[in-house]
Structure 1
Amino acid sequence: MTDRPFPLIAAHTGCNDTPYNTVESFMEGIRLGADIVEVDLRIVRDGTVVLLHDDSPYIHEYDFGQLNEPDVRSKIDALYVRHEIVRLSDVLELAMKHNARLNLDIKTEAAIEPIIRLVREHEAVERVYITGCSENITSRHSDIRVVLNTPTKLTPDERDSYRSFAEKVCLEGTRGRYYGLNMHVDTCRPEVVELAHECGLAVWVYTVNDPDAMRRLIRCGVDAITTKDVARLGELRADFVTG
C-alpha cells in the first residue's frame, strides 16, 4: 500500500468502548497491541496531574485525595461512580511496567510543567509524546517530542488551495521545532504528508475509526493513526505485513 513503514497505532482513550481515562481503558489499549496509548491530562488544586478530559469546578476546589472520594468524584461524571480518578504518575508506572508509549494530550496550559516534571522523574522522556496544549514546550524542553495540533477544519480558501494550508502548518511545525503535526482526519491529504516529511516532520492523524479512512491514510504514508478501533487497525497492519 505504501513504501513507508506501517503507521504507529495509537489507542484513543476509551478504545474498545472502555470508560475514558481509566486504568481499564489504558490497559485495554495495551492488550489490543497499540504502539501508543493516549490519555487526557489536567491538574487539580494541589498540583496533582490527573487523567481527565473536561474541566470541572471540583478540580479547582479539592485536593486529589478529597476529589477521589466517591461522593465528590461522582459529581464530575457518572463513570466515576465505579471508577477512580487516575493520576498520571500511576499511568507512567504502568507504562514502564508494560513497556508502553504514551500520548499525553494536555488540556490546560497550567499542567504543562508539572507533567514534564513527572515525565523526567519517571525517566519516561523516550516513551512519551505530547499533544494538545503545547505552548513554548519545545523552546524550554528540546528533548520532549511535541506534536503540533493543527486546525480541525479547513477554511473555504484552504479547501480550494490546499497547498497553502499544507505550507502554513509545516512552516509552523518547523519554526516551532515540533516533532510532527497532529491532524484531524478531515484535514489530512497526501500533499501535507509529503511536504511534512520533506521538512522532517512526522504526521499523526486522529480520530480514525472508519476502515476506508484508515486505508487512505496508510496509502498516504502517515506516521501514526489514533483510533478507538485498535483491533481493526491491527488487522490492517497484519495484512500489510503479510501482503
Structure 2
Amino acid sequence: MSKAGRPFRVIAHRGDSTHYPENTLAAFASAIALGADEIECDVRVTRDGVPVIHHDATLRRVLGVDALVSDLSCAEVLALVPTRSRDGGAEVRVPTLEQMLDAVGGIPLQIELKEPSAVAATVAALRARADASLYGRVILTSFHRDLILAARALDDRLSVGWLMTDDHDVDPAACDAAGIASVMPHWRRLTSDVVSAAQRAGLSVRAWGVKDLACAQSAIAAGADGCTYDDPRELLAHLTARGARPHSKPLPPLAQVGKHGGRPAAE
C-alpha cells in the first residue's frame, strides 16, 4: 500500500516487456491478463504523421532496421517484424496508437510523448475517439516538461505527468500550478518527505527506472503510488506475497503469457 492508503499500482512498462516484444499488442494483452493496474507505452510519429507505439527514435534495436521511425511511412513500419518474435504475427509488430487503444479496452494508460511531433498527433487521436472515459484513464507523460504542457494547452481535459531526471527537484506547488497531475522521479530520488509533500499537494507519485524487486520495495517504502516495471507478473506476485494485494486474482501459468521469451529492453 502507498502511504496515502491506496494500493501500489503496477504499471506494465511497455506492456509485459519481459516475456513479449515491448510495446506490442501481445505485451499489452499479457499485462492485462496478469492483472497489471496500468500499461505504459511510448508514442512516435511516422513520416506520414501517424502516431505509432515505439520507444526508440530508430528501429534498429527492436526491429533490426537501421532507420528512423520518422523516415518511414506507417505502412512500412507496420510491416516490420521484431527481432524477438518467433512467429511475426500482427500482435508482435509495431501497432498504431489507434490499434493499441482498440486492443486494450478500459485499462488505464500512461502514454509517453517521445518527441514534439507526438504531441498534436496523440491529442488528435484521443479526441477523434469521442470517448469521454479516456480522459479519466489516460495520462500523457514526458521527460520534456514543455511537451506535456503543450498537450494540456491543446486539451485541458488531459491529465499529464512529468518524468523527472536528476536535474529537477519535485516542486509540488509549481507542478500543481502548471496543471501537472503526477510527478514521476527516478526511484532513487524518492524519499518519504518528497512523496508526502507531493501527495499533500494532490499529485500522484510514480517511480520510473525500477528494474528489480529491491528497487520496487524502496519505492513502496517511500510511499509512492506506483511504478513502471518490465515484469508485471513478478511485481504482482511480490505484492500479493506481502499481503499488499490480498484480493488479486491467481496469476496464470507463465507458459500462457510468455511464449516469446528474451530479455527486457533497457530503459
TM-score by length of 1: 0.82
Residue 109 in 1 paired to residue 111 in 2?
no
Match in the other structure for 1:90:
99
Q: Which residue identity lines up with residue 158 of structure 2 in the other structure?
A: I
Counterpart-to-counterpart distance in 1, 2:104 and 2:94: 17
Q: Which residue identity lines up with residue 75 of structure 2 in the other structure?
A: G
Match in the other structure for 2:71:
61
Counterpart-to-counterpart distance in 2, 1:3 and 1:200: 11
Match in the other structure for 1:194:
196
Q: 1:190 to 1:64 in 2, by over 3 A?
A: same
Match in the other structure for 2:25:
23
Q: 1:61 to 1:220 in 2, by over 3 A?
A: closer
Residue 210 in 1 paired to residue 220 in 2?
no
Say if 1:154 and 1:187, in contact at 8 Å, map to a contact too: no
Residues 55-204 of structure 1 aligned to structure 2 (within 5 Å)? 55-56=57-58, 57-69=67-79, 73=80, 78-79=83-84, 82=88, 83-96=92-105, 99-122=106-129, 123=131, 124-132=134-142, 133-151=147-165, 153=166, 165-166=169-170, 169-204=171-206
Counterpart-to-counterpart distance in 2, 1:64 and 1:88: 11
Residue 222 in 1 paired to residue 224 in 2?
yes
Cα displacement (A) at 1:8: 1.4
Counterpart-to-counterpart distance in 2, 1:202 and 1:3: 10
Encode CA deviations 1:41-74: one digit per residue, 9 max, x unaligned.
10001111111111134433332113333xxx36
SS of the residue corresponding to residue 244 of structure 2 reads helix
Counterpart-to-counterpart distance in 1, 2:57 and 2:212: 29
Q: 2:244 aligns with which of 236, 240, 243?
A: 240
Q: Which residue identity lines up with residue 93 of structure 1 in the other structure?
A: D
Range that drifts further, 12-21 or 181-190: 12-21
Encode CA deviations 1:187-215: one digit per residue, 9 max, x unaligned.
11111101101211110111323223322
SS of the residue corresponding to residue 178 of structure 1 reads coil
Cα displacement (A) at 1:240: 1.6
Counterpart-to-counterpart distance in 1, 2:199 and 2:70: 41
Structure 1 gap ranges (5+):
156-164
SS of the residue corresponding to residue 46 of structure 1 reads coil
Q: 1:241 to 1:63 in 2, by over 3 A?
A: closer
Q: Which residue identity lines up with residue 87 of structure 1 in the other structure?
A: T
TM-score by length of 2: 0.75
The alignment of Structure 1 onto Structure 2 pairs a total of residues equal to 224
Counterpart-to-counterpart distance in 2, 1:47 and 1:142: 23
Say if 1:6 and 1:237, in contact at 8 Å, map to a contact too: no
* Two-structure CA RMSD over aligned residues (Å): 2.4
Higher helix share goes to which structure? Answer: 1
Match in the other structure for 2:8:
7
Cα displacement (A) at 1:3: 5.8
Q: 1:222 to 1:206 in 2, by over 3 A?
A: same
Say if 1:16 and 1:28, in contact at 8 Å, map to a contact too: no
Structure 2 gap ranges (5+):
59-66, 248-267
